[in-house]
Chains A and B, each alone.
Chain A
Amino acid sequence: MNDDCQFDAVGHLRHFLTIDGLSRNLLVRIMDTAQSFASVTEQQVKKVPLLRGKTIVNLFFESSTRTRTTFELAAKRLSADVLNINIATSATSKGESLLDTIRNLEAMHVDMFVVRHAQSGAAHFIAHHVSPHISVINAGDGRHAHPTQAMLDLFTIRHVKGGFEQLTVAIVGDILHSRVARSEILALNTLGVAEVRVVGPRTLIPACAESLGVKVFHDLDKGLAGVDVIIMLRLQKERMSGAFLPSEHEYFARFGLTQERLARANPNALVMHPGPINRGVEIDSLVADGPNSVILQQVSHGIAVRMAVMSMAMRTGAKSPVGERA
């Protein structure tokens, strides 16, 4: 994929749009940098001056609470000035084009855009058209990518499991519409896990899913057998009206994660979820709140990982070695 636009002329990370094309070294360095920031967030004074004087724009064309909040906190802990723009109530609803919105914000001399958009490729498009000094971080584009979510999930896995080799990971649910799943699959395979599985009914598994580097299962019991990590995806209500599924009830019966089903996985298997969770639809409360669940750890790791990515893209983090491309 021609995602060399993620790197500047000397091969440093400039935009963070997708895991595709990133090297294992770079992913490890993001996690190492996040580790150093994790301690910052536990201090009494939770700020470091790395991005002092920089202006970061959270540009959300699609609503979000968790992702926007953790990006905002991450930016503030790096001492940047943060501007939150919710486009649903702003200019493009008045007919302004995406490019005009970007050009207008650029004219205000900002340094970074954190972009969430309902359409796949939006972050790439913006990255291709911003001035050379501006970085773009993809906070989720359509069904395509959500690379910071993938990195915080990997950070959480490494935090608990210590590494990635030997791990079998199952991603369960609506793979078709999931940008999180696509980014996680790329990241897990780049870091060399033993196997990535996707589990769901055929209506929610994308065409040629195997080409992503996964094994496909349509039976949750089989898909969970012997896995070390289970990532449950959120089921959107609109899947019922789109004839993807008959009912939440039937979905939970076949693909909901219960304690019984969890027992098929390895003991100490991690249970993860990018949130927000639908209790009783894709996951039972006993599992979501149980000892295997790291769902809330994922949220707190989100801040450290986003601090790492933002500081690296602004090149104020750890010294960048060469070889960030895959």
Chain B
Amino acid sequence: MTGRRIMISGGRVIDPANGIDGVMPVYVAKGKIAGVGVKPEGFQPDQEISAAGHIVCPGFVDLCARLREPGSEQEATIASETLAAAAGGITTLCCPPDTFPVIDTPAVIQLLMDRAESVGKSRILPIGALTRGLAGTELSEMSALKDAGAIAVSNASLALANPLVHRRALEYAASYDLLVMIRPEDPWLRNGGCAHEGEMATKLGLPGIPTSAETVAVAQSLALIEAVGGRAHFCQLSSERAVEMIAEARSRGVPVTADVAAHHTDLTEGALDGFNANAHVNPPLRTEVDRAGLRRGVANGALQAICSDHQPHDLDAKLDAFPATEPGVSALEALLPLTLRLVSQGVVDLSTAIERLTAGPARVLGIASGTLSLGVPADICIFDPDLDWQVDTPLWLSRGHNTPYWGDVMRGRVTHTLLGGRVIFRL
């Protein structure tokens, strides 16, 4: 029913890309934004959504969410996870290429797009593999991947064989103006670690991942990007120093952007105490200083986006001795409340927080999304910033229950999500 005319009334509209923040109605017609504050001529709504006391903003753009399909449907599916995304206010999702099979052929991209379209709960933007099979040695057919719909290319969390492959991959991607997404981690310095090399890992006797595993990789990537050009984006930073290095490069005009996962703005290595496998994430949760640096990056724009880094797992994945558990958290539905936590804790104002979930990531990708501009597809999130809810069934919709917040009360909950003018979620 894309033709439905909807009026969203009484809500505080925040559209950072257009500098809008105020109580006004939003009009939707033919699946697109037809008016913000100004009623289109002759508009007669078929449906009215009351958003009194709520925030009305663009649907969120998540730069990193694993849906586990194809290949790991026992953990989650596109259907289960895009429903969870809708419940989290997310309307656009970038999917890393480390599926089974890997997203290194147009066929896998087509499969993902078809599945997403048949479910109809999210816009899925596949990230193509940077190297064939993500093996880190031979380039993937990036041009064909781009033509098939890849939004960017990445080697996900897998290492490249050497700096020469890294250089050639950046050069080749730049030939097609493809964004390269980099999860910076030096595999030699990581050395099989599973926790930040610091006080907590020392106390628990966990093999450590030093901060230098991230900073060395960032330094190497920046040096190559400066040498060969092309657009690059650093994913899920975990350290204060890496944020500073990237900000410094940007200040010299190097075309790089960066994001942070929401849980990295909230938790530190302390969350691992007692061998809490749900706090086992990669990159690892680091120190108070690192968390403060990441928060500062969100506030001052050194980090353009907050992503979920959603990684749903089945129960078994976390049932083992800590180092043997799978890293990653189920995070789509925590993205908004954790970002709002930055507002309530005085790190950013509400408009900036929403910008990092909408226009910020959209600009990283170069897509006309994350705004309420006239004529763009009506991807809209309406949320109650003061609603407390418990992370538990039945509210939690992701198949993955692997979150350090399980059982916690979170503040801020989506009440409606619209995708292309259709209401796809309602609380």
Q: Which of B206, B274, B316 contacts A2 (CB 8 A)?
A: B274
A119 surroundings in chain B (CB, below 8 A)? 321-324
Does B201 have its Cβ within 8 Å of any Cβ on chain A?
yes
Does B328 have its Cβ within 8 Å of any Cβ on chain A?
no
Q: A2-B273, A97-B319, A121-B275 are in contact. Are A144 and B204 (CB under 8 A)?
A: yes
Q: Render B382-409 as a binary contact track against A, CB cut-off 8 A, 1 for contact.
A: 0000000000000000000000000000
Q: How far is the CB of B148 from chain A (nearest CB, A)?
A: 38
Q: Which positions 208-230 of chain A face chain B at CB distance < 8 Å? A: 208-209, 211-212
Q: Which positions 184-215 of chain A face chain B at CB distance < 8 Å? A: 206-209, 211-212
Distance A142 CA – B207 CA, assembled complex (angstroms): 9
Q: How far is the CB of B304 from chain A (nearest CB, A)?
A: 31
Does A51 have its Cβ within 8 Å of any Cβ on chain B?
no
Q: How far is the CB of A302 from chain B (nearest CB, A)?
A: 21
Q: Which of A2, A20, A141, A207 contacts B202 (CB 8 A)?
A: A207
Does B252 have its Cβ within 8 Å of any Cβ on chain A?
no
| A143 near B205: Cβ-Cβ < 8 Å | yes
What is the chain B residue whose CB lies nearest that of A178? Answer: B205
What is the chain B residue whose CB lies nearest that of A206? Answer: B202
Q: Which positions 93-124 of chain A face chain B at CB distance < 8 Å? A: 97-99, 117, 119-122, 124
Does B208 have its Cβ within 8 Å of any Cβ on chain A?
yes
Q: A2-B273, A99-B319, A207-B197 are in contact. Are A120 and B203 (CB under 8 A)?
A: no
A120 surroundings in chain B (CB, below 8 A)? 204-207, 275, 321-323
What is the chain B residue whose CB lies nearest that of A208? Answer: B199
| A121 near B321: Cβ-Cβ < 8 Å | yes
Does B41 have its Cβ within 8 Å of any Cβ on chain A?
no
Distance A99 CA – B321 CA, assembled complex (angstroms): 10
Distance A179 CA – B204 CA, assembled complex (angstroms): 9
Does A76 have its Cβ within 8 Å of any Cβ on chain B?
no
Q: Which positions 284-311 of chain B face chain A at CB distance < 8 Å? A: none
Q: How far is the CB of B325 from chain A (nearest CB, A)?
A: 9
What is the chain B residue whose CB lies nearest that of A143? Answer: B205
What is the chain B residue whose CB lies nearest that of A182? Answer: B205
| A211 near B202: Cβ-Cβ < 8 Å | yes
Distance A1 CA – B275 CA, assembled complex (angstroms): 9
Q: How far is the CB of A164 from chain B (nearest CB, A)?
A: 22
Q: Which positions 318-371 of chain B face chain A at CB distance < 8 Å? A: 319-324
Q: A1-B274, A2-B274, A3-B274 are in contact. Are A121 and B201 (CB under 8 A)?
A: no
Q: Render A150-189 as a binary contact track against B, CB cut-off 8 A, 1 for contact.
A: 0000000000000000000000000000010010000000
Does B10 have its Cβ within 8 Å of any Cβ on chain A?
no
**Most chain A beta-carbon neighbours within 10 Å: one of B203, B205, B274:** B205
Does A305 have its Cβ within 8 Å of any Cβ on chain B?
no
Q: Place the interface of chain A in its size category.
A: 20 to 34
Distance A93 CA – B335 CA, assembled complex (angstroms): 40
Q: Render B190-232 as a binary contact track against A, CB cut-off 8 A, 1 for contact.
A: 0000000111011111111010000000000000000000000
Distance A145 CA – B204 CA, assembled complex (angstroms): 8
| B203 near A212: Cβ-Cβ < 8 Å | yes
**Most chain A beta-carbon neighbours within 10 Å: one of B203, B210, B321, B323:** B321
Q: How far is the CB of A18 from chain B (nearest CB, A)?
A: 9
A122 surroundings in chain B (CB, below 8 A)? 321
| B320 near A98: Cβ-Cβ < 8 Å | yes
Distance A20 CA – B275 CA, assembled complex (angstroms): 13
Q: How far is the CB of B267 from chain A (nearest CB, A)?
A: 15
Q: Place the interface of chain B in its size category.
A: 20 to 34
| B320 near A125: Cβ-Cβ < 8 Å | yes
Distance A209 CA – B202 CA, assembled complex (angstroms): 7
| A121 near B323: Cβ-Cβ < 8 Å | yes
Q: How far is the CB of A307 from chain B (nearest CB, A)?
A: 26
Distance A212 CA – B202 CA, assembled complex (angstroms): 8
| A144 near B205: Cβ-Cβ < 8 Å | yes
B319 surroundings in chain A (CB, below 8 A)? 97-99, 125, 129
Q: A182-B205, A206-B202, A208-B198 are in contact. Are A142 and B323 (CB under 8 A)?
A: yes
Q: How far is the CB of B407 from chain A (nearest CB, A)?
A: 14
A2 surroundings in chain B (CB, below 8 A)? 273-274
| A125 near B321: Cβ-Cβ < 8 Å | yes
Distance A61 CA – B274 CA, assembled complex (angstroms): 21
| A208 near B202: Cβ-Cβ < 8 Å | yes
What is the chain A residue whose CB lies nearest that of B318? Answer: A125
A129 surroundings in chain B (CB, below 8 A)? 319
A99 surroundings in chain B (CB, below 8 A)? 319-320
Distance A117 CA – B275 CA, assembled complex (angstroms): 15
Distance A208 CA – B211 CA, assembled complex (angstroms): 13
B275 surroundings in chain A (CB, below 8 A)? 120-121, 124-125
What is the chain B residue whose CB lies nearest that of A1? Answer: B273
Q: Which positions 99-132 of chain B face chain A at CB distance < 8 Å? A: none
Distance A265 CA – B321 CA, assembled complex (angstroms): 40
What is the chain A residue whose CB lies nearest that of B319? Answer: A99
Q: A120-B205, A121-B275, A144-B205 are in contact. Are A97 and B316 (CB under 8 A)?
A: yes
A206 surroundings in chain B (CB, below 8 A)? 201-202, 208
Distance A270 CA – B319 CA, assembled complex (angstroms): 42
B321 surroundings in chain A (CB, below 8 A)? 98, 117, 119-122, 125, 141-142
Distance A124 CA – B319 CA, assembled complex (angstroms): 11
B207 surroundings in chain A (CB, below 8 A)? 120, 143
| B274 near A124: Cβ-Cβ < 8 Å | yes
B274 surroundings in chain A (CB, below 8 A)? 1-3, 124
Distance A208 CA – B205 CA, assembled complex (angstroms): 12
| B204 near A121: Cβ-Cβ < 8 Å | yes
Distance A20 CA – B321 CA, assembled complex (angstroms): 18
Distance A20 CA – B274 CA, assembled complex (angstroms): 10
Q: Which of A97, A142, A211 contacts B205 (CB 8 A)?
A: A142
| A125 near B322: Cβ-Cβ < 8 Å | yes
Q: Render A131-152 as a binary contact track against B, CB cut-off 8 A, 1 for contact.
A: 0000000000111110000000
B203 surroundings in chain A (CB, below 8 A)? 1, 20, 182, 211-212
B208 surroundings in chain A (CB, below 8 A)? 206-207
Distance A124 CA – B206 CA, assembled complex (angstroms): 13
B324 surroundings in chain A (CB, below 8 A)? 98, 119
Known: A1-B273, A119-B324, A144-B205. 17 other contacts (CB 8 A): A2-B274, A20-B203, A97-B316, A98-B321, A99-B320, A120-B275, A121-B206, A121-B323, A122-B321, A124-B275, A125-B275, A143-B205, A144-B204, A145-B205, A179-B205, A206-B202, A208-B198
Closest 5 CB pairs of A and B: A143-B205, A144-B205, A121-B275, A2-B274, A122-B321
**Can you list 16 A-B contacts with CB-CB less than 8 angstroms, sorted by A residue number?**
A1-B273, A2-B274, A97-B320, A99-B320, A119-B322, A119-B324, A120-B206, A121-B321, A125-B319, A144-B206, A182-B205, A206-B201, A207-B199, A207-B210, A208-B199, A211-B203
Instruction: List residues of chain A with CB under 8 Å of any chain B CB.
Output: 1-3, 20, 97-99, 117, 119-122, 124-125, 129, 141-145, 179, 182, 206-209, 211-212
